[in-house]
Homo-oligomer: A and B are copies of this chain.
């Protein structure tokens, strides 16, 4: 069980030549998700060699352009590439209308299913689930309807203690699944071998919370409690606290307070305003409150493996 998060873009709206708006590619427990899709995301996916066919679920936090203007281009490209698999899009309700109007205006008929999951609740809700992962919304407080997303690995199977299993000659391969499922083994003579003596605990499930854009909102800490990895927007530093409040954004210090209160493993900062050239100041401000802070950077890949949960691997693709 593992998480790999690739930052495709991490800046706020005003474009700069080498700064892309929000988009992230998440692999968690062998499931793959695209989170937000600012303009140019399809080019970033190519740049970082992420297969378009890996993307079957896209989560859009809100309908400000720096979080979704790249979606229609990506969908059109999927069409040109003759995609066949259904694509699921989770986002605010007007998104469907915007996408469909553009497809109609360009007389485009997609050959794959476009399944919209329209979000409108102001409470956290389960919006995706399969045997490996669950995804919940995190209601945020921004100028328009906005959700963050919480990605949770499900608890996996117990791991066989092969040495112990081999000592019981009656156990056959066809019994392994029952052991992984936590069942005791009953020998022919009626003797019960407790599951704990034959298996190890499953790996700790990992979790990732994406929170952007939002005013400082301590109420979310109950939803994101103890997540291994939290991305929280930090559009401003403390020097622009008033602007943060007026535009319903957070400061680096506020993001760190959320991380501390929620006792998360690591905090990733991003969504920097173009007013700041020196991003190290964001880290400096946040670490006065919470010490495990990572600055989001385009191309950065942040990995956690539950086998070695305390070791965070950070790579950078160029």
* Chain A interface residues (CB < 8 Å from chain B): 13-17, 39-40, 42-43, 46-47, 63-66, 69-70, 72-73, 76-77, 80-81, 92, 94-95, 97-98, 101-102, 104-108, 143-144
Kindly report how many copies of this chain are found in the complex they form together: 2
In the complex, are the beta carbons of B77 and A15 less than 8 A apart?
Answer: yes
Contact B98 A15 (CB under 8 A): no
User: For residue A46, which residue of chain B has the nearest CB?
Assistant: B17
Q: Smallest Cβ distance from A136 to chain B, in angstroms?
A: 24
Q: What is the bound-complex CA distance between A214 and B289, given in angstroms? A: 60
Verify A65–B69 contact, CB threshold 8 A: no
Sorted nearest first, the 3 A-B pairs with minimum C-beta distance are A94-B105, A65-B76, A39-B73
Complex-state Cα separation, A213 to B257, whole angstroms: 53
| CB–CB B15/A107 < 8 A | no
Residues of B within 8 A of A77 (CB): 13-15
A66 contacts across to B, CB distance below 8 A: 76
Q: A72 near B76 (CB under 8 angstroms)?
A: no
A257 to B16, CA, bound (A): 41
| Residues on B with beta carbons closer than 8 Å to the beta carbon of A80 | 13-14
- Picked from B65, B107, B108, the residue with its CB within 8 Å of the CB of A72 is B65
Q: Is the CB of B65 within 8 A of A73?
A: yes
Choose from B63, B76, B97 the contact partner of A13 (Cβ within 8 Å).
Answer: B76
Q: Which residues of B contact A104 (CB under 8 A)?
A: 94
B107 touches A97 (CB 8 A): no
Please, could you name 7 A-B residue pairs with CB atoms under 8 Å apart, sorted by A?
A13-B76, A40-B43, A63-B105, A65-B102, A65-B108, A94-B105, A98-B102
Q: Which residue of B lies closest to A14 (CB)?
A: B80
- In the bound complex, do residue B105 and residue A98 qualify as a contact, i.e. CB atoms below 8 Å apart? yes
Q: Are B73 and A106 in contact (CB under 8 A)?
A: no
Complex Cα–Cα for A17 and B234 (A)? 29
With A39-B73, A76-B13 in contact, do A107 and B47 touch (Cβ < 8 Å)? Answer: no
Q: How many angstroms from the CA of A105 to the CA of B17 in the assembled complex? A: 26
